[in-house]
Structure 1
Amino acid sequence: MDYNIKKVGLKDLDTTAELFNLYRVFYRQEEDYEKCKKFLQERLDNEQSNIFIVFVEDKAVGFVQLYKLYHYIKLQKQWLLSDLFVHPDYRGKGLSVALIDRAKQWCDETGACGLMLETEKTNDIGNKLYPRCGFEYDGNHNYYYWWK
């Protein structure tokens, strides 16, 4: 399958927000395109995330979003692979792997030591995909959240 991956800019906001909205619906959130668009615009305006979109025949069908973090052991920058989504009609064609490979390339381009991610235990697709892409499961840590 022929595809093209490009780094998102503000001119890509509408297309990115459409995909981000679908991604959130996948995670059982209410559809809210305008809120998604505002959220992404803030991330891009403030240079808080880097987003890459995959296109098939000029149609945006998936994305990956990365946030900068710092690793306390390696004492280097790393990227949080926060969001990865491929439209259901285009799954199983290697596009998720291509987006992950582009994220790894971004690590090289930015001098980062690597990627980290977390996903729901119920995300069967992701929990099979990530080890195939070279990610190692970290069973030594518990992740806790505090929500205001």
Structure 2
Amino acid sequence: MKHLIKKASLEDLDETAELFNLYRIFYRQESNLERGKAFIKERLLNNESDIFLAIYEGKAVGFTQLYKLFHYTKLEKQWLLSDLFVHPDYRGKGLSIALIDRSKQWCEETGACGLMLETEKTNDVGNQLYPRCDFEYDGLHNYYHWWK
């Protein structure tokens, strides 16, 4: 087997932070490895997110980060698939799909009703990937943000 998906722990902090920094750069943020590392460390220490790493030939090359939410109509826990990233050098190897499949399995393991996610309209790769992984596009809702 060339790849495996594993749940990240504090022992994986450096590798996870490096991938998280690249992910943020992908979304046009300035590189800030130390701040990103502190952010990931806090999420892990406080059990505020669950992170899965894609390990390819012994190296962490991708990740997904899930946050717990609750669905108001299903009256059940659900997971926000907040972040999904595979290093550009390792794309096209099925790692994103493996990370999504592991996230779906996590729903089963934790008694959650499902996953939700949002991505930019310009994310052509993601907008093709998610329907292939059985996500349904929700064109009925508007998403708004408020930032202080």
Normalising by the smaller structure, the TM-score range is over 0.9
How far is the alpha carbon of 1:92 from its aligned partner?
Answer: 1.1
The reply on whether 1:35 has 2:35 as its aligned counterpart is yes
Normalising by structure 1, we get a TM-score of: 0.99
The code of the aligned residue for 1:46 comes to N
Shift of 1:93: 1.1
Distance 1:62 1:87 in 2: 6
Q: Which runs of 4+ in 1 moved over 4 A?
A: none
CA offsets, 1:63-95, max 9 Å, x none?
000000000000000000000000001111111
1:84-108 CA deviation, whole Å, 9 max, x = no partner?
Answer: 0000011111110000000000000
CA distance in 1, matches of 2:14, 2:93: 24
The equivalent of 1:13 in structure 2 is 13
Q: Distance in 2 between matches of 1:93 and 1:4?
A: 12
Structure 2: give runs of 5+ residues left out of the alignment.
Answer: none
Give the aligned partner of residue 122 of structure 1: 122
Q: Alignment length, in residue pairs?
A: 148
Deviation at 1:31, TM superposition (A): 0.3
**1: CA distance, partners of 2:90 / 2:134:** 22
Map of 1:24 onto structure 2: 24
Q: Could you tell me how far apart the structure 2 residues matched to 1:13 and 1:63 are? A: 12
Task: Provide structure 1 residue ranges, at least 5 long, that are not aligned to the other structure.
Answer: none
In the superposition, the TM-score normalised over structure 2's length comes to: 0.99
1:136 lines up with 2:116 in the alignment:
no
Partner Cα separation in structure 1 for residue 28 and residue 51 of structure 2: 22
Specify the alignment match of 2:109 in structure 1.
109
User: How large is the Cα RMSD of the aligned pairs?
Assistant: 0.7
2:60 is equivalent to residue 85 of structure 1: no
For 2:49, the equivalent position in structure 1 comes to 49
For 1:56 and 1:145, the matched residues in 2 are separated by 36
